[in-house]
């Protein structure tokens, strides 16, 4: 068995205009001071990390990895969550998702989609030049506005949606394959890939593309009331990345999994800092270790109550305490006996 690597931290929720969160060197030093060994690096902020430059320049990639190494860190993955979202946007969401695109492309859905695809292509090349083998992203969505079947969905609508989604992603996936990098989709409400069934639909639509994989984040499954432990048993061969994020679902008589349009603090399902929610991380780390997941355990902080810096500080120790050193032997090896075919037949009572 392999040991999960960690702890690592996703930087997206910590970037700000204030030190030490306002430049790459200082945020690396901050993460390392808390005990993190790796960073998952968002690519939507050129001041922190210039994706276009990374795709064009090996020297720049060496500079980035060098700065991280000086702090005692490595890069676990690049993230294109915001750009991946824009690969497929239903017109109903144009206004809200325009904010994810450069200002000059707002109000231009076709241009925005092309920009997003180009961003993913650059991320594939940059990942290779950084020596990475996994990448994390969102899928985007054409069908999300129909997730509850009222009015009834027309026959063939879902199939057509996944066919189009696969059409947009296949050139990206092929290029990631050329670069030797897995694409790990975070299964997330609001994306067409948000649970096991939708992942299977996309996998089939891409002809079981070898680079279609999963960023496992149990918090999104708690909010959907999906069995996040059985999910590992079913899909472990495709789990190539891991967000360690806690959540809770507090059942009540006023609202359920849809949340009643309430703020995060008031919803039955809400994200929490590590250790403050309901997720059974001991079982998760045990299952992932059992299935020989050898990627990074990456903190993603999205708590609706606790301060992010406290969540980050506590999260490093939480992950470290859950890492399992796999055993190299069976507990009953002391009673093992040498054997051969004749002896086995005698034990079985056969001649």
pLDDT at 328 over 80: yes
Q: What is the band of 346 on the pLDDT scale with cuts at 50, 70, 90?
A: confident
In the chain, what percentage of residues exceed pLDDT 90? 93
- pLDDT recorded at residue 339: 82
Tell me the C-alpha distance between 137 and 128, whole Å.
16
* pLDDT of 138: 98
Average predicted confidence (pLDDT) for the chain: 96
pLDDT at residue 58, as a whole number: 98
Torsion of CA 326, 219, 45, 175, to 10 degrees: 70
* Position 207 pLDDT exceeds 80: yes
Res 185: pLDDT:
99
| Confidence (pTM) | 0.96
pLDDT at 84 over 90: yes
Look at residue 351 in the predicted model and tell me its pLDDT. Answer: 72
Reply yes or no on whether the pLDDT at 335 is more than 90. Answer: no
The dihedrals phi and psi of 170, each to the nearest 5 degrees, come to -60, -45
Burial 80-99 (b: 16+ CB within 10 A, else e): bbbbbbbbbbbeeeeeebbe
pLDDT category at 298 given cuts 50, 70, 90 is very high
- pLDDT tops 80 at residue 180: yes
pLDDT at position 332: 74
Contact by Cβ (8 Å): 165, 202: yes
The pLDDT of residue 334 is above 80: no
Task: Tell which wins on pLDDT, 321 or 340.
Answer: 321
Closest CA to 296 of 196, 182, 180: 182
Domains located in the chain, CATH noted:
5-348 (3.20.20.150)
Separation between Cα atoms, residue 111 and residue 91, nearest integer Å: 14
- The yes-or-no verdict on residue 336 having pLDDT over 90 is no
In percent, how much of the chain has pLDDT > 70?
Answer: 100
- Average pLDDT of span 53-58: 98
Averaged over 7-28, what is the pLDDT? 97
**Peptide bond before 20: cis, by omega within 30 degrees of 0?**
yes
């Amino acid at each position: 068995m392999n040991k999960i690597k960690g702890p690592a931290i996703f930087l997206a929720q910590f970037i700000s205009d204030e030190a030490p969160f306002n430049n790459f060197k200082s945020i690396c030093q901050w993460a390392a001071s808390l005990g993190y060994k790796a960073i998952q690096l968002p690519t939507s902020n050129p001041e922190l990390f210039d994706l276009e430059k990374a795709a064009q320049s090996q020297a720049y990639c060496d500079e980035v990895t060098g700065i991280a190494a000086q702090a005692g860190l490595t890069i676990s993955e690049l993230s294109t969550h915001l750009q991946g979202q824009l690969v497929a946007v239903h017109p109903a969401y144009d206004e809200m998702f325009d904010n994810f695109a450069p200002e000059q492309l707002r109000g231009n859905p076709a241009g925005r989609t092309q920009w997003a695809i180009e961003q993913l292509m650059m991320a594939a090349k940059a990942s290779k030049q950084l020596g990475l083998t996994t990448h994390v992203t969102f899928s985007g969505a054409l069908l999300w506005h129909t997730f509850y079947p009222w009015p009834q969905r027309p026959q063939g609508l879902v199939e057509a949606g996944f066919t189009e989604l696969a059409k947009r992603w296949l050139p990206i996936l092929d290029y990631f394959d050329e670069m030797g990098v897995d694409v790990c989709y975070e299964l997330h409400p609001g994306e067409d890939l948000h649970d096991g069934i939708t992942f299977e639909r996309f996998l089939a639509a891409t002809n079981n593309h070898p680079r279609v994989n999963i960023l496992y984040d149990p918090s999104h499954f708690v909010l959907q009331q999906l069995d996040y432990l059985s999910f590992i048993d079913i899909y472990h061969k495709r789990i190539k990345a891991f967000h360690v994020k806690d959540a809770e679902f507090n059942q009540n008589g006023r609202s359920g999994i849809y949340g009643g349009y309430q703020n995060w603090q008031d919803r039955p399902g809400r994200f929490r800092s590590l250790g403050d929610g309901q997720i059974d991380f001991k079982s998760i780390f045990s299952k992932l270790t059992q299935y020989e997941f050898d990627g990074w355990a990456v903190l993603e902080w999205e708590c609706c109550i606790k301060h992010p810096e406290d969540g980050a500080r506590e999260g490093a120790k939480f992950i470290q305490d859950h890492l399992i050193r796999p055993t190299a032997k069976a507990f009953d090896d002391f009673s093992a006996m040498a054997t051969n075919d004749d002896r086995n037949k005698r034990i079985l009572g056969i001649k």
